Amino acid sequence: MKKYQEIFTTKINESFAMFKQQDTIRKGDLYQLVHQMKGTGASIGLNTLSEVAEAQLIRIAEIEGERLPKDIWMPVIEAIEAVLQQQAELPARPRELIRQEPLLLISSNNDWLMRARERIEKEGLQVIVAADKERAIAHLYEAHPLITLVDGSWREHITKEDTVYVQQKMFSFVMFIGGNLKFEEKQLYFRNGITDIIDQHEVDELVIEIIFNRLKLLDTMEQQVIVDPLTQVYNRSFLAGFPAGRDLEFTCAVLDIDNFKQVNDTYGHASGDIVLRNFAAYLKGAVREEDYVIRYGGEEFLLLMPGIKGELAASRLRKILEGYINQPHELAQTTIYTSFTAGVASIVSDEQLLLEQLIEQADQALYFGKRNGKQQVNVYESCHHNMGEEPYKSLYLSVVDDDTIIRSLLQDNLEGLQMDGYRVQLRAFADGNSLLDSDWIRQAGKHIVLLDGVMPDMDGLEVLSALRTYSNEKNLFVMMLTGRQDNQDVVKALELGADDYMTKPFHVEEVAARIKRLTLRT
């Protein structure tokens, strides 16, 4: 961090030197520079500078007029210069992330959402927020939160059916906090499946302890539950005790329903559930008795086949594919047909491979098929030599920030980011127009944009709005980087389609963790 501190301090001094050569300066220029000190300073360990800058921002906002005389703006600079010589204090690292899955907060009270999120994130937990029921349902499907924490004042929007649905299909604890519920109301909600009802409205130490208690309970339950409640096939927990090396011949296949997101987007998530159930049922009826069908996550399934080689297993899968594409899915609105793509990998001769390695190889063969037209079955041993330099999915990271320090900090620390199944590429942009005018953001693949909220010429919210008009926006995820105090700006970003946000100062480790979480979304 010392390198960034020195660069940033030099930049501040140069800006101050330019100001001092003028009798008057624009209020907006001073505000933007001090705003940058607040956010960037804390992110690189200059905590005292950040605190002083925050106080000066309030002072600047109270000054009237667009152009400020020297006797008005000079005290602001002097207050900041007084702390520039102090030794930088590196921020304490957040507690190690316990789970990758997030918690979901639901409330129409934006101030409460921001306070609750900030308090929970201090514990190293991932948090996503929703201000309405539609957004909450989308988060449940895309992010699979472990705990859903509902503002009790919003409880009239939660029906008994909603609670059962969340717990049985999403496997998420539902907790009410606040709302002044009466004794009879609490009885009714507990009978309907609410896990916890907490009287106080704010997330305090007791609420934090309850959350960690429930996370520990979930860990215990996951060790015991091995059947997916929606599809009635095994889930990922089953893999923990599966002895992949018990047969000399053993094959693993990864199957992915083609264009499943389009089914959800067009017909709704309930229709997507029908397709998932039908697909699982068809697989169970088509495979051998000794084979294992597992829902690996979302629309992705594993098929574990002992005593069979890769090419023979692929041949059987192709016959299953031929039959499946003719199977109708009777939805409420219409009848549709779907297909799947599969990748196959097997243990050959006396080769010793872990199950995780087989799954990774099969996944690469699956992606090869996805890139080459879908609706096919490929064997890793046959196709991996033809995969070229991109056997993995492409992930493009874009850092958009007018602050050179923040750009350098993120670029230096994220450039070597390793992601299973992805080839990560990163590019930094000094402003929104540079990103929007580039071919980079239009490339096929998954994009994650780290977008500064306050920039000259084109504001971060304007850039966000523009990105949401792009043809590839369904594979484009935006994380806002904001130092603004006004929660309404964060809420506006979420309404415009931001997928996540981080308030400066931030830890690069947490940024990387959020990026990894965003890549899990389909």
Burial of 507 (0-12, 13-18, 19+ CB in 10 A): middle
Chain centre distance of CA 521: 7
H-type alpha helices, 126-268? 133-143, 160-169, 183-191, 205-224, 260-267
Q: What share of the chain is helix, strand, coil (3-state, %, to 5)?
A: 50, 20, 30
Burial class (CB within 10 angstroms; exposed 0-12, middle 13-18, buried 19+) of 182:
exposed
Question: Positive or negative, the Cα torsion across 48, 51, 54, 59?
Answer: negative
Q: Given the DSSP bridges, would you call strands 446-452 and 476-482 parallel, antiparallel or unpaired?
A: parallel
The contacts of residue 2 (CB under 8 Å, 6+ apart) are 88
Give the whole-angstrom CA distance, residue 413 versus residue 437: 25
Q: Structure tokens of 88?
A: 């930088």
CA atoms within 13 A on the CB side of 83: 20
Backbone phi and psi for residue 331, each to the nearest 5 degrees, phi listed first: -100, 170
Give, in order, the Cα–Cα distances in Å from 4 to each of 451, 453, 504: 20, 21, 16
> Of the listed 78, 299, 360, 415, which one is catalytic?
299
d(C-alpha 307, C-alpha 178), whole Å: 57
3 state DSSP class of 439: coil
Q: Parallel, antiparallel, or unpaired: how do β-strands 500-503 and 476-482 relate?
A: parallel
| Rounded Cα distance, 465 and 299, in Å | 30
Token digits for 118? Answer: 């900030």
Tell me how long the chain is.
Answer: 522
Torsion of CA 127, 130, 131, 134, to 10 degrees: -170
**Cα 243 from chain centre:** 32
* Catalytic residue list contains 6: no
Q: How far apart are CA 263 and CA 266, in angstroms?
A: 5
Taking CA 36 as the corner, what is the angle to CA 31 and CA 42, rounded to the nearest 5 degrees?
130
Q: Would you state the structure tokens that stand for residue 518, as one six-digit string?
A: 């965003």
Degrees, nearest 5: CA angle 347-350-351: 50
DSSP 202: S
Which amino acids are annotated catalytic? 299
